Amino acid sequence: LITPDTHVESPLIGWENSLAVVHISAEIGARFQQYTAIMDVGSRSGAAGNGVERFVYVLEGGAEIEFDGKSHTLAAGGFAFFPADVKHTISARQKTKLIVVEKQYTPLPGFAPPKPVVGTNDQIEGLPFMGDPDARLQTLLPVSFEFDLAVNIFTYQPGATLPQVEIHVMEHGLQMIAGQGIYRLSDSYYPVGKGDVIWMASHCPQWFVAMGKEPASYIYYKDIHRDSLNAS
């Protein structure tokens, strides 16, 4: 659990006028990277690494993105996915904060690489999770085998819970974006609220209950659709 009082900003290498708070990276043992990009007026992104796919979600402010000769404006709640090696730029004319997730793309034989995706969270229906209308899941990216990652937003009414303690091979990078609750990680229970980030390694036991008077939401990354023993 990485709380905002511990965050340290550093220059965002390769970007102009931008700082990073790197929350999750290879250095901690993760197979992906998650950081907050703090973009100032007149800032511009740098390229993702070779073979690296990038997902961005606008937390605050707004950004213009460009790829394939087209531009789109993203306000808070907007998001974009750039497949590996798809040239793109993200620029901001106002102070802007992005959640950025990057990972090396793992191809799957028989499937083409995924296409770029642009959207906003309010276009995406929240579906009851395992039948519970008080725990709703928005799936921001298409669920298909081309994609080796998922990014979802989970919104719980106060008192709603993740229905089971989960243990799974997939990793998570999570950021609380609204409300509060208690996160169980292994055998410890932590109060969490807006701005907190959690890295869950593969097989980390996890569970959540929303508390307080407002719904609690978190956005999270998950690696999916690949088999580490039978990699391509």
* Closer residue to ligand UGY (CB): 57 or 154: 154
Q: Which does 64 bind (CB under 5 to 8 A by kind): Mn ion, ligand UGY, none?
A: none
Count of residues in the chain: 232
Residue 166 touches Mn ion, criterion: CB under 5 A: yes
Between 170 and 209, how does the x/- string for binding to ligand UGY read (CB under 6 A)?
Answer: --x---------------------------------x---
Which residues from 130-169 bind ligand UGY, rule CB under 6 A? Answer: 154, 162, 166
In terms of C-beta density within 10 A (0-12 exposed, 13-18 middle, 19 or more buried), how is residue 102 classed?
buried
In terms of C-beta density within 10 A (0-12 exposed, 13-18 middle, 19 or more buried), how is residue 33 classed?
buried
If DSSP codes are grouped into helix, strand and coil, which group holds residue 102? strand
Residue 217 touches ligand UGY, criterion: CB under 6 A: no
Q: Which does 103 bind (CB under 5 to 8 A by kind): ligand UGY, Mn ion, none?
A: none
* Closer residue to ligand UGY (CB): 116 or 205: 205
Which residues, including other chains, have CB under 8 Å from residue 140's CB and lie 6 or more apart? 57, 79, 81, 117, 119, 121, 124, 150, 151, 152, 153
Q: Using CB under 5 A as the criterion, which residues of the chain lie in contact with Mn ion when the complex forms?
A: 166
